[in-house]
Structure 1
Amino acid sequence: MKCSVVCLVFISILFTINPTECEDTKGQPFPDMNVLPFPEMSELPFPEIEEQNMTAKKGQFILAKKKSQAFLARRAQAFLTRKGHLLLNTTGLPVPLPSEATTGAPNVETTITGPIVSERLKALTEVLNYDVSKLDVKNETQVQPFYDRYQKSFNKEYANEKEREERLDLFKKSIEKIQEHNNNTMATYQKGINELSDLTWAEVVKYKLGLLRDGGGDPNCLPPHVDRILKGISSTLLFIQGFMIITSICITLSTAAAPGSSNIPDEWDWRKYGMVTPPRNQGKCGSCWSFAAACVLESHNMKRLIAEGKFDPKSQPKITVSEQNMIDCSGDYGTLACEGGMPQQAFKYVYENKGINGVDVYPYTGKKDKCGYNAANRVDVDVREGQRLESGKDNDLAAAIYNYGPVAIAVHTTDDMLAFKKGIFNDPKCNPNDVNHAVVAIGYHKDYFIIKNSWGPEWGEGGFIRISRSKVNNCGVSEQGYYPIVPNAVQTRAMIDKLKVV
C-alpha cells in the first residue's frame, strides 16, 4: 500500500511538472521540493464540489471547477508561504523568520485608526526632526533618553527589559548607518529615524511589505515557479483520492489599450489637484497591496466625479476606500490578507462585488477578520477592468499617470529605503527583478517618480518618496504597474479645464 501511494505521488508530479519548464523567462530556478514541507491532507482540505465536468486527458481525470481551483490554490499558497515561518522569496527558496517569542515585534500604532493627539504629535515631531548626527550612540547618557522619547512617540511596547535592550541595539545600529550615509556628500537623499528604526529585516518583510509577484508576461498569474509548486502539490494530493486537478491562481482581468507616451507634460503631480488621499499606515500587516489598490481606486473615481461635475476637492471630503474591506473579503480572488496580495486582485473583487465600503464605514484593524461588507453603505467607486503596463517602460508609466491617474506599482524595498527621509532616492542595490512592495506612483518629473507609500505620514517626505529616474525601471518602478479602468472615465487632457489646483 505504501509503495502504491509513493508511486502515485511520484507519477502525478511527473505528469504535472514539465522538466523543461523548470526555469521561467527571467531565469528563476525551480526550487528544490525537498526543502519545502509537504502538507498533511488535513491542512489542505478538498473543497465541496457542486458541479463536475470530468473529461479524459492522457489517462488522467481533470476536474474543471473554477471555484474549487481558487480555493485549493489559495490554501496551498498560504501553506507554502507561511507554514513553519517560511517565506518564498523571489527565487522561490524559503527564508526563515525569527520566532516572535524572541523578536517580540513591537506594537506599532496605525495612523488610520484615528487622529494623532496634539501632545504625541509634538513629541513625534521633535523626535523625527532631531539631528541624529549629533548623537553619540556609545554615550548611554545621550542615547537612552532619546530612545525613551522615540519609544513613547511611536507608542511602542515591549514584552520585557531584555527585548527593550535588543530594540535599543537595533536602534543604535540604524543611527550609525544614518550618520554614515548622511556624511556622504555625494548622496542624493538623506536618511532619518522613523517607525522602522528598531525593527529587524525579517519583521519588515512580515509586517511592512506584502506584495505577491505577478506572472510577468501574464499579468494575471503568480510567478511560474510558485504556480508549478501549487500544481504539483494539489495534483499529488488529489491523485491519491482517485482523480487529478490542475490548479492555477491566475485571475482574469480584461486589458485596455496601453497609453501613448507622447504629448504629456514634463512633470505632473496629482496631489496638486486634490486627487490623492493622505498616506495611511498598514501597521503590523503585510497588506501593502490593499493600500495601493485603495489609493488608485480613490483617485481614479474622484477624477471621474470631477469630470461629471459631481465632486469638488476644494469643498468636499475626499473619497476613501477601505483596505480592511479588501483584506477581509477578497480571499476568493487570490489575496492572502496580511500574508500578501496584488492590487489587481482587489480590483477584481470590487468589480464582481459591485462595490466597496469607505474607511469610515469599514475602518482598518490590520488583521484578518470575517467579511463585514455593507452594500447599503458602499462608497461611490466603480471599476470594470485592470490595465497592466508593459514591464520596464518608464515613459508608459508616466503617460498612464498623466492620462488616467495614479498607478499601483511594485518596488524593490531595500534596507536603505527604510530610513529614507528626504531627497531623490537612488540605491544601487535596487533590483527591478526583486520587487517586494506595492506602492502608488502619483506623479512624475524628468528626474524622478513621486511615490505614495503605506508606512504612515511620519515616514519619508510626509509618507511619500521620490525615486530617481537616473536609470530605466529604477527599483522596479515600471516592472509591475496596474491602473483600474473606470467606467465613464475621461482622459486628463479632455478634462484639463475642470482640474483646479487646491
Structure 2
Amino acid sequence: MLTVGSVLLLMVAASVANIGKDPTLDSDWERWKTIYEKQYSSEEEELSRRLIWEKTLKMVTVHNLEESMGKHSYTMAMNGFADMTSEEVTATMTGLRVSDSEMDNLTVDWPQESIQDQAPDCIDWRKSGYVTNVKNQGSCGSCWAFSAVGALEGQLKKKTGRLVSLSPQNLVDCSWKYGNHGCNGGFMTNAFRYVIKNRGIDSETSYPYEGRDKNCRYKTSGRAATCVSYKKIPKGSETYLERTVASVGPISVGIDASLRSFQHYHSGVYYDSQCTSSHINHAVLVVGYCVDRGVPYWLIKNSWGTRWGDRGYIRMAKNRGNLCGIASFASYPLM
C-alpha cells in the first residue's frame, strides 16, 4: 500500500517528467509515432524524444512560414528524423569516408573526348530509364554503396539497354580489402575498384540488402554488371560536373548532410549557406539538373527512402559556390 509520502513523490516525478512538454501536441505526437512506427524503451526515452520532436516541429513550422513569405526557396517536413538530433542522423544515416589518397588525387585523365563542351539546359536521366527506384540504407553507413551502385546501374543501362538494381550489400560485405568499412563507411571509388578486381557485382535480387555487415557471399551466377575503370571529376568544378552528367549519365558525389535543413528537406530548391564543402560526409547520386523559376538546381537521388524529401529526391542549388561540396568528390565507373 502506498503511503501519502510515496503518492506525493510519484506526483512530483510525473510533474517533472512532463516539464517542457506541450500537451496540445499529444495527438500529433501519437499520430507521428504511428506513421513512422516509433517505439521507445522507457518513458524517460520517450520524453527526451518528444522534446526533440517538439523542437523540430517549431523549426519546420517557422521555416515553412518564412518560405511562404519568400524568404526560402524550399520547404521542410516532419519526417522520420524528427525525434533525432542532427548529430544522431549524421552518425547513423551517412557514411562517406574520404581517405587521404582521395584528398591528394582528385583527377584522372581529364578532359575526355567523350565529354561535351556544351551541355543541354536540362537533363533528367530518370526519363531515359537510367535510374532504379529509391532505396533506404537504414541505420547503416552504406550511402557510399548505394551511390556507387546507382552510377553502375546507369552505365549498365547505357551499355546494354537493361536497367537492373545492383547489390549494395555485395559492396558492404565484400569490399573491405579496398578500403571500405561496411556499415561504418566507405568511398565510391573504392567500391568501383572492388568491382573491377572482382570482375563483377551481383544483382539486388541475388544478393538482397540487409543493412548490416555480414560475410561476403558474392556468386558469379548472380553477377549482373562489371566495371573496367572509373573516372574522377576535377574537384569543385560544377561546370565539369554538369558536362559529365549530360554526357555520361548518373554520377556519384559526396555532400554535407549534417544540417537539419538538409535532413528535413521536403520540396523546392535547397539552399543553405551553412552547407559547405568542409564537412562532406554523405554519398548520393546526381541524376540530372535543370532550372526552377530561374533557379538552377541539381537533381539528386538519396538513399533515405521515399518518405524523405521529394519522394526520395532533393533538388540542390546549382552554381552556388559548390554548395554542400556537390562537386568535390564526383566520380563514375566505365564498363
Aligned to 1:357: 202
Q: Secondary structure at the match of 2:27?
A: helix
1:208 alignment partner in structure 2: 93
2:24 is equivalent to residue 180 of structure 1? no
Match of 1:478 in 2: 327
> Where do 1:30-109 residues align within 5 Å?
none
Q: Report the alpha carbon displacement of residue 256 of structure 1 after superposing the two structures with TM.
A: 6.1
- The secondary structure found in structure 1 opposite 2:316 is strand
1:282-327, Cα deviation, whole Å (9 max, x unpaired):
1011111001001111111011112xxxx4xxxxxx3011111110
1:195 to 57, 73, 80: 80
CA distance in 1, matches of 2:201, 2:131: 18
Give the secondary structure class of the aligned counterpart of 2:57. Answer: helix
Runs of 4+ that moved beyond 6 A: none
Cα distance between partner residues in 1 of 2:118 and 2:319: 21
**Aligned equivalent of 1:459, options 308, 316, 327:** 308
Give 2:35's aligned amino acid. Answer: S
Greater Cα radius of gyration, structure 1 or 2: 1
Paired residues of 1:206 and 1:285 also in contact (CA < 8 A):
no
Contact 2:106 2:234 in 1 (8 A): no
Q: Which residue of 2 aligns with 1:492?
A: none
Residue 13 of structure 2 is matched in structure 1 by none
* Local SS of the residue matching 1:211: coil
Q: Determine if the alignment matches structure 1 residue 408 to structure 2 residue 293.
A: no
> Which of 344, 350, 362 is the aligned partner of 2:189?
344
Q: What is the TM-score when the length of structure 2 is the normalising length?
A: 0.87
Tell me how far 1:200 sits from its aligned partner. Answer: 2.1
Deviation at 1:139, TM superposition (A): 4.3
Paired residues of 1:423 and 1:466 also in contact (CA < 8 A): yes
Where 2:32 maps in the other structure, the secondary structure is helix
Letter in 2 for 1:140: P
Q: Structure 1 pair 340/388, CA: closer, same or farther in 2 (3 Å)?
A: same
Matched, 1:162 2:7: no
The residue number in structure 2 matching 1:435 is 280
Aligned equivalents of 1:347 and 1:402: distance in 2?
21
Question: Where does 1:60-459 land on structure 2 (aligned, <5 Å)?
Answer: 139-141=22-24, 143-184=25-66, 185=69, 186-214=71-99, 215-219=102-106, 255=109, 257-258=111-112, 260-306=115-161, 311=162, 318-379=163-224, 381-413=225-257, 414-446=259-291, 447-459=296-308
Q: State the secondary structure of the residue aligned to 1:365.
A: coil
Maintained 8 Å contact 1:406/1:440: yes
Q: Which amino acid aligns with 1:218?
A: N
SS in 2 for 1:193: coil
3-state DSSP class of the match of 2:203?
coil
Query: How much does 1:440 deviate?
Result: 0.7
**1:386 and 1:171, CA in 2 relative to 1: closer, same or farther beyond 3 A?**
same
Is the 1:261–1:395 contact (alpha carbons within 8 Å) kept by the matching residues of 2? no
Query: How big is the shift at 1:201?
Result: 2.5
The answer (yes or no) to whether the contact 2:189–2:331 under 8 Å persists in 1 is yes
Q: Judging by fraction of residues, say which structure has more strand.
A: 2
What is the DSSP-based 3-state SS (H/G/I as helix, E as strand, rest coil) of the residue aligned with 1:444?
A: strand
What residue is the counterpart of 2:6 in the other structure? none
SS at match of 1:461: coil
1:196 Cα deviation from its structure 2 partner: 1.1
Residues 1:281 and 1:304: Cα distance change in structure 2 (over 3 Å): same
Go from structure 1 to structure 2 and tell me whether the alpha carbon gap of 1:260 and 1:358 turns closer, same or farther (over 3 Å shift): closer
Give the secondary-structure state (helix, strand or coil) at the position aligned to 1:338. Answer: coil
Read off the aligned partner of 1:206 and give its amino acid letter: A
- Structure 2 match to 1:469: 318
Greater relative contact order structure (CA < 8 Å, 6+ sep)? 2
Kept in 1, the 8 Å contact 2:256–2:276? The answer is: yes
Identity of aligned residues (%): 31
Which ranges of structure 1 fall in alignment gaps of 5 or more residues? 1-136, 221-253, 312-317, 487-502
RMSD: 1.7
What's the secondary structure of 1:465's corresponding residue? strand
How far apart are the structure 1 equivalents of 2:43 and 2:167? 37
Partner of 2:16: none
The one-letter code matched in structure 2 to 1:296 is A
Residues 21, 51 of structure 2: 8 Å contact kept: no
Matches of 1:361 and 1:161 in 2, distance apart?
42
Post-superposition CA distance 1:375-429 (Å, at most 9, x none): 11211x1211111100111111011111111110011112210010000000010
Alignment TM-score, normalising by the size of structure 1? 0.59
Aligned-partner Cα distance in 2 for 1:265–1:197: 38
1:460-490 deviations in Å (ceiling 9; x for gaps) = 111000111251311111111001112xxxx
| Structure 2 CA distance for partners of 1:201 and 1:150, relative to 1, 3 Å | same
Please report how far the alpha carbon of residue 279 of structure 1 lies from its aligned counterpart in structure 2 after TM superposition.
1.1
**Structure 1 CA distance for aligned equivalents of residues 319 and 151 of structure 2:** 26
Is this contact kept in 2: 1:255–1:385, CA < 8 A? no
Question: Deviation digits for residues 314-343 of structure 1, max 9, x if unmatched?
Answer: xxxx30111111101110000011111001
SS state at 2:201 partner = coil
What is the CA distance between 1:431 and its match in structure 2? 1.1
**Counterpart amino acid of 2:23?**
E
Contact 1:331 1:337 in 2 (8 A): yes
